[in-house]
A and B are shown apart, each in its own frame.
Chain A
Amino acid sequence: MPDPAGDPRGDQPAITITNLVKRYGSLLAVDDVSFSIQEGEIFGIIGPNGAGKTTTVECISGLRTPESGSISVYGLSPQHDRDKIRAFVGVQLQESSLPPRLRVGEALELFASFYPTPLDPQEVLESLGIKRIERVAFKNLSGGQKQRLSIALALVGNPRIAILDELTTGLDPEARRDTWALIERMRERGVTVILVTHFMDEAETLCDRVALINRGALAVLDTPEAIAAQAGVNRVRFTPSQPVDDETLNAVPGVQVIERKGRYVTVMGTGDLAASLLNALSEKGVHVAELEARSGNLDDAFIKLTKDATPRVSEEVHA
C-alpha cells in the first residue's frame, strides 16, 4: 500500500479496512482491499462500474457483511456494533427512494428524530436550498431535488462520517456545482466524507485522497494530483491530414492509449509525446492540424490505470 500521502487532517484514522474480501456467489466483488481514512478527510473511491466500490462502502456502513478481513470505524465493527455505528454514520444510498407521498420536510423531521444529536432540519433545508420545496411530496421532486433531499437525510443526523454513493449522478451541471459546495461545507465542519464516484472531475475537485478500485482490488491510493503525475500521462489531440492507423501511432515511443472521436485523434502516453508524434507523422507525410497538448489529469490516469481491465460484470451488483 502506498504511503497515505496528501492532506490527512487528523493523525487518528477514522476508518481502517484490512484485507477486505466479499463474494457474491462465485463473483469476487472485493478482493483483499486495505486502506485507512483519516478523520476529517474527504476520501474518494473511484473505479469502473462493477469494480466493487459500492460493495466496499456498504461493508463500512454495515449493510453487508464481509467474507473475511476486518473493518474498524473508530474502533467499532460495522457488523458487530452496528447499532452504535449507525448513530454517527450518515449514509446516502445509490438507489433508494422514499414513500411517494412523504414530503421533504416530514422526511427530514423523521430522520432528525432518529438521531441523538441531530441538526436543525430547518437549517439543513436552507443550507441545501430546498426550503421552498419543504411541503412537496417525494414523487413530485425533480432528480436534482431528490438528490439534495437524499444528501440532507444523510446529514441531518449530524454524522461524524458521511458515506455518499454516486452523489451527483443524474444532476445537471449547476446542481452538481451546488452539491460540491455542500461537500466543501461538510469539510469545514470536520465531517469525514467517503465519496463514491465515477466522475473524475468530482474526485479531483473535492477529494483529499482517492482510492482507485479496479476489479475488486485497490489499484492506487494517493492524492488526485499525485495519481495524475504518477501515471505520468500526457495527452495530445490533433487532426491528421489523412487517416493514420493505430499501428503507426503505437510505433511512436511512449504511446499508450489511442482514442478517436470524429476528426480528432487523441493519444495518451509518457515522455515528450507531442514532439515524437509530429516527427513520426511527418515521416509518413501526414500533416497535423489543431494540435493540443497538455499534461494528464485524473481522468487520463484513470483510463490508463484501468485500460487493460475489462470489468467482470457490467453493473454494480445488488444482491
Chain B
Amino acid sequence: MSVADRPIVMPGSSGQVAEYPEHHYLNHSKGFLSWALTLDHKRIGVMYLIGVMASFALGGMFALMIRIHLWNFQDGWLENKTYNQVFTLHGAIMVFLFIIPSIPAALGNFLLPIMLGSKDVAFPRLNLMSFYLWVSGLVLFLVALSVTGLDTGWTFYTPYSIETQKGGAVLAATMGVFVLGFSSIFTGVNFIVTINTMRPPGMTWFKMPLFLWATYATAIIQVLATPVLGITVLLLAAERVLGIGIFDPKLNGDPVTFQHFFWFYSHPAVYIMILPAMGIISELMSVHCHKGIFGYRMIAYSSIAIALFGFLVWGHHMFTSGMADVTTIVFSALTFTVSIPSAIKVFNWLGTMYQGTVSLNTPMLYALAFIFLFTIGGLTGLPLGALSTDMHMHDTYFVVAHFHYVMMGGTLVAFLGGVFHWWPKMTGKMFNDKVGIISAAIVFVGFNLTFLPQFVLGTRGMPRRYATYLEEFQDLHRLSTIGSLVLGFGLVVAGLVLFHSLFYGKRAPKNPWGGATLEWECTSPPPHDNFASAPTVDDPYNFAGIEYDPKTGGYAKA
C-alpha cells in the first residue's frame, strides 16, 4: 500500500480524517479488470447495487405492462398467454433478482465491514464468487424466462410446472434459481463469520448497530433456508428428467408436497426480504431524529425472533390447499406470533421520534413512508392469518395488495431510503434534497393509489393472475393503473436525482446526517482500506455531542 492510499491525517487534530479525501476506493485503481476482479467489498457492493437496480427497472417495466393490460376488463393489448408470461417474469425477477439480493448484497456488502470498523469481509474471494454466481444465475434465469416463454408464475406450482410442455423452460429457470440460491448462501456465510469474528475491540453484541443485527438475522435465514430451495429444485428436476414420482399425481406423487417444500424456503425468504429493511429503518430513524434508538434491545431481539418464527409459518400460504384441520389451525396460531415482534419494532420507531429532533429530509421521508406502508401491510396480514377470513381472501387481489405493501411499500421504500441515506458515503456526492423529497411524495401517493383499490377488489372477490375479468371490477382496476403510472414516474424522478448528483452534486462531507455509527467516521467516499487503524468504538446511538458544522455542511463530534 502506497502512502497516498492512506487517509490524510490533518496535523494537530489527532487521528482526525480529512473532510474531502483525494484518494478513495473509487479512484484507488482504474480499468475494467480492477472492478471485475476486485476483492474490495465496497466495489462488489456497488456492482450489486447497479445489478439489482437494473433488475428492478426491468421488473418494473413488466409491472407497468400488466397494469396497462388490465385497463379494460377484456381484450387487453396482450394475449392471455403473453399476459401469463409477463406476470411470471415480473414476479420472478422482482423476487429472485431484486428483493432478495437488494439490501443484503448491495447495501450490506458495502456497509457491513465499515460499520464493524474492519477492512473487508471475512472471505473477500467468496464474496466476489457470490457476485459472479448471481450474475450467472441472472443470465440463466433471464434466458430461460424470455426465450422459452415460461408461464408458471414465480411459484412453479406442480403439476402445472411439470405438465406444461415448456418443460425445458422450467428446468432452466429452476437451475437459475438454484445458482442464485448459492450466491445468497455465500453472502450469508460471509456475513455471519464477519460479524462473529471481526468486531472491533469494545463492540459487544449489544453495541452493534441495529442494521448489523438485522443483517445477522437475515444471514442465518439465508444459510438455513436456501438449501431447502435447492433440494426442491433438484427434486423437481429429478421428476422431470428421471420420471420419479414425487409431486406429479400421475406418478403417484403429491402436488401439495411441492407447496410444503417451496414455502418452507419461500416464507423465510420473505424475512430475508424484510428484515434488512427493518435494519435500515432503525438506522434512519435514529440518525435523522438525532436521538438514540428507542428500546435497542427489544429491536435486536425482535429481529432474531422474527428470523426464528419465520421458519414455522410456511403453512399459511396453503390454508385452502386441503391440509389437515389441525395442521391448518396450528399454522394459523404460529402465524400470529410473527406479528408481535413486527408490532414492537413499529412502536419502537415511533418512540424514537418522541422528543427527538426530526430532520424531514429525503431518507427520513422514505423511512416514514416505510413505517406507514409497512403498518398497513402488517395489519392487513391479520385477516389473512385468521382462517375463516382467509378462506375468502386467499388468492385474491387482497393478497396481492397485502404483499405489495410489505414487499414494495416495505422493502423497496426502505431500500430507497437506505440508498439515499448512504449515497453520499458511497459516491462522495450530495443529491438535491428538495427534488428527493418530491420523489418520496410522488412514490408515496402513487403507491397508495395503486394498491389501496386492490384491497377493495380483493374483498369483492377479484381473483389473482386473471388476464381478463368481470366488468364490475373495471373502475377499481383503472384507478390502480393510474396509480401505477404515478408510482413509476416517482421512481424515475428518484433515479434521476441520484444520477444527477453523480455529475453535479456537491462534495459530501464525512458525516452529512449526523450519524454516530462507524461508517460516518471515515471519509466519503471511504478509502480503499476503510480505516488506517481500528477505530475506537462508542455507543452507536450516542448522539450527545454530535454538532452541525456549517463550514463543511456536515456534522462532527464536538
Do A and B truly interact? Answer: no
